[in-house]
A = this chain, B = another copy of it.
Amino acid sequence: MQLVEIQTYVAKCIATLRERGMRRTRALELVIEEMATAGRPVTIQELAAKPSLEQQCDQATVYRLVIKLLEQGLVRKLGLHERSAYFALLIPGEHHDYLVCTECGAIKSIDMSCPVKKLEKDIMKSSGFSKVYHELEFYGVCPKCA
């Protein structure tokens, strides 16, 4: 995103949040702006350490803001983790794609011919990365939680 677009985007987010009863504060603006500028997933610590935020507010505030953005659906939390890391055995011939319930956290393995495997070669070529593998997860609400 370009700078101007980011400003527009931030304004739009704030407007949405204001409609839902949240107040416009400098810290809120900055969090959205920094996330948009980053252009990739960031940790809360990373965010809180940005000069603008560091001098603007406490780390706890950044935590609270990001969580609020998450609840409001403006932000997504990546990965399967609920605080702790997940590990899986690399069993030859076994698939490694999962279907995860965003409500109860249940994780199911899904069996399918993976359409992404082929892309790994392309990516190695175009990015210069080596030893490329992928991870693919589907998230949704399972029947029990619906």
Contact = CB atoms under 8 A, between A and B. Distances in A.
B87 A76 contact: yes
Contact of A101 (B36, B107, B129): B129
B108 A40 contact: yes
Contact of A87 (B44, B91, B146): B44
13 contacts: A1-B91, A1-B94, A36-B91, A41-B80, A44-B84, A44-B87, A76-B90, A77-B86, A79-B81, A79-B135, A81-B85, A101-B129, A135-B136
Contacts of A131: 102, 140-141
Q: Name the prevailing secondary structure of the A interface residues.
A: mixed
Contacts of A98: 40-41
Interface size class of A (residues with CB under 8 A): 35 or more
A57 interface: no
Interface in A44-89: 44-45, 66, 69-70, 73-89
